[in-house]
Structure 1
Amino acid sequence: MVALSRTEDQVRAALRVVGESDAPAAEKAEMLMEIAMGMQQKPQAPEDLHAAIELYRLGVEQAPSGQALLQARIRARMATAMMAAPAADTGLLEAARGELETALATLGAEGLDTEIAEAEMNLGLVLQTLAGAGRARIQDAISAYQRALRVFDKAGHPAEFAILQNNLATAFLSIPFTDETGRMREALAVQAFEEGLRVVNLVDHPREYAMLQNNLGNALQYASSSHRIENGFRALEAYDAALKVRTARDAPGEYANTIANRANCLANLPDDPAAPEAGNARNIAAALALYAEAREIFERTGEHGKAEAVGGAMAELQSAQASFGVPAVQEKDL
């Protein structure tokens, strides 16, 4: 007899409890949704998320046909599990899009304002990811974020407002730079990051604060501006602010991402902004040290693609460093 996996055991136990209950169908549907949410919130394996999706589906089927709002709420929650579940293609994301659009048709008429805004925000995320795969329009993602902002404003919902500003900014930056409107979108992105940072702070919203600072740094670093050096030093300040939250101990992956971004920025800035013609040998050495630390963390945490990319950047910098006659940085063993 083959032993049941932990996930299968949990699902069967949940179905048994619901099946044996004398509760009305609507209550059983809510029970299934609650069990699915519990599995989704603390998944120990990808199977947990797929099992949660199945329980949500059963919840939709269990909900009486006259309970459209309950069905919509379950569909909206199911979409978030679909968004989180790992998949080899866009199938689950496209299913999440369908569930959210179906849910919004009812939520828009009967749901709470916050439910509608949360569904719109999640729809924007799905559309933005699908747009990167050529399966949706990025403009539709931007529209969804903007609809969510009608409810998630800076006064009443600062954390959600900041996340939406971040998502809007990254959506603006993902549009191909084909003409002068690209510069306007870059400016809008920087403005959105800064707008988000006006409503969150290091103490009350540390994760959102660090995310916005890191992404603001990236936007400034890569902006096609005539103020490249000025923007670069502003980017360093943003990365340093993010690193007040993203530490090697508490958030190694995010820390490695930010120090790698900081390294790339440093490598392209002069040592003395007042004398850019003097070169940047000192900044290159500092960048190599940061790259080495980031690569070690990526290798240790299994992000081998990132480790390889950092290694390639290091090789290029080491060639540039040699041209200044500066001794190479001693790397740690990986």
Structure 2
Amino acid sequence: MEADLGRAGDEVRAAIAAAEEEATSPVERAEMLMEIAIGLQQRPKNADQLLAAIDLYERAQTICPVDEPLLIARMKARMGTAYLAVPSEGHESLEQARDKLGEAIPVLTQFGSPEEVAEAEINLGLAYQSLAGQHRGRITDAISAYQRALRTFNRDRFPQEFAILQNNLATAFLSMPFTDNRAKMREALAVQAFEEGLRSVNLVDHPVEYAMLQNNLGNALQYASSSHTIENNLRALEAYDEALRVRTAEAMPLEYANTVSNKANCLWNLPDNPEFPDNGNRANLIAARDYYRQSREIFARSGEVDKARIVAEACEQIDRELLSAPPTNGASHVGTLLATSKLN
């Protein structure tokens, strides 16, 4: 592991050596290891650094006296977030994250600050949500964790955290099965959560969160099962345009590509003149193709092979439609849903 740590490897070795010095108290040694682990975890260059951080947290817990429950809980919570960040297609790291955070939260609740508890609840919710996506957990557990975090991270005192939580709640609602009669209610709750989040942030002070919420609100509106498809798509276009005020091709190329791909799909399904949908949507098809081409180039340059393939296929399908008779209605296409959701 250490061979791939680069310069950080020297810090890890130095921290371990210092932690073995008997002249230093066990608490100080544990805190030293924890600080190095946090440094590795905050800006990891590869998965090995995250694994090294986890190893340091484990060593720190071994050293830390049992009469320091709060310090041990903080280590477990940090370890949980490190496991959450480890790139893996399996479920083992996610289950470790869930377990470590689950162990930490009761102790943090008893001895720590409300903010520490709420942060741990957010990360626990993310672990539950990812496990639910692999059919190894319940999405309702994620929703409950986010709602507990909202008791502390309210709109007035913590606008950014509140916005992120609303985003996570909305994506959790949208990830639930849409096969029962409550599907429309969950879609409405998701849209409401995105809009709640947007009331707590603004373009100037919180541009990243603002753009994320606008992009995801656009997706929720566009894919809602509603009889008001045209109205929803027009609202979605407004949301995407707001997101693109932040997500520019120069400053945030991948985010820009995601959003213009979503906007392209929306245009694909929208008549040129909403008042006369039977007149077709040739102009919107051409605009959608241009957006897809832009995003395809960015995805290809960035190594996002699957996304580049998806938008390339969309371009080909639009070319075939343009060569044939123009569409006569706003019928829905499968298209691409390239939504983004994050806590950092």
Equivalence map 1:1-334=2 (5 Å)? 6=6, 7-20=8-21, 22-324=23-325
Q: Is the 8 A contact 1:50 1:85 kept in 2?
A: yes
Amino acid at match of 2:67: G
Q: Tell me the alpha carbon deviations over residues 113-165 of structure 1, each in whole angstroms, 9 at most, x when there is no partner.
A: 00110101100011001000001000000000000000000011000000000
Q: Indicate how the Cα distance of structure 1 residues 181 and 3 shifts in structure 2: closer, same or farther if over 3 A, else same.
A: closer
Amino acid at match of 2:156: A
Q: Tell me the alpha carbon deviations over residues 270-320 of structure 1, each in whole angstroms, 9 at most, x when there is no partner.
A: 001111111000000000000011011001000101111111222222111
Q: Is the 8 A contact 2:11 2:36 kept in 1?
A: no
How many pairs does the alignment contain?
A: 325
Q: Is the 8 A contact 1:256 1:297 kept in 2?
A: yes
Q: Indicate how the Cα distance of structure 1 residues 116 and 309 shifts in structure 2: closer, same or farther if over 3 A, else same.
A: same
Shift of 1:90: 1.1
SS of the equivalent of 1:89 reads coil
Shift of 1:180: 2.0
Query: Structure 2: how far apart are the matches of 1:108 and 1:325?
Result: 61
Query: Structure 1: how far apart are the matches of 2:70 and 2:110?
Result: 9
Shift of 1:23: 2.6
Shift of 1:3: 7.2
Range 37-46 or range 296-305, more displaced: 37-46
SS of the equivalent of 1:271 reads coil
Structure 2 unaligned residues grouped into runs of 5+: 328-344
Shift of 1:44: 1.8
Range 311-320 or range 154-163, more displaced: 311-320
SS of the equivalent of 2:136 reads coil
Amino acid at match of 2:147: Q
Aligned residues: CA RMSD = 1.6
Higher relative CO (CA 8 A, sep ≥ 6), structure 1 or 2?
2
Query: Structure 1: how far apart are the matches of 2:198 and 2:208?
Result: 12
TM-score, reference length from structure 1: 0.94
Query: Structure 2: how far apart are the matches of 1:280 and 1:118?
Result: 46
SS of the equivalent of 1:20 reads coil
Partner of 2:332: none
Partner of 2:338: none
Shift of 1:8: 3.5
Range 303-312 or range 210-219, more displaced: 303-312
TM-score, reference length from structure 2: 0.91
Shift of 1:88: 3.4
SS of the equivalent of 2:167 reads helix
SS of the equivalent of 2:105 reads helix
* Structure 1 stretches of 4+ moved >6 Å: none
Shift of 1:5: 5.2
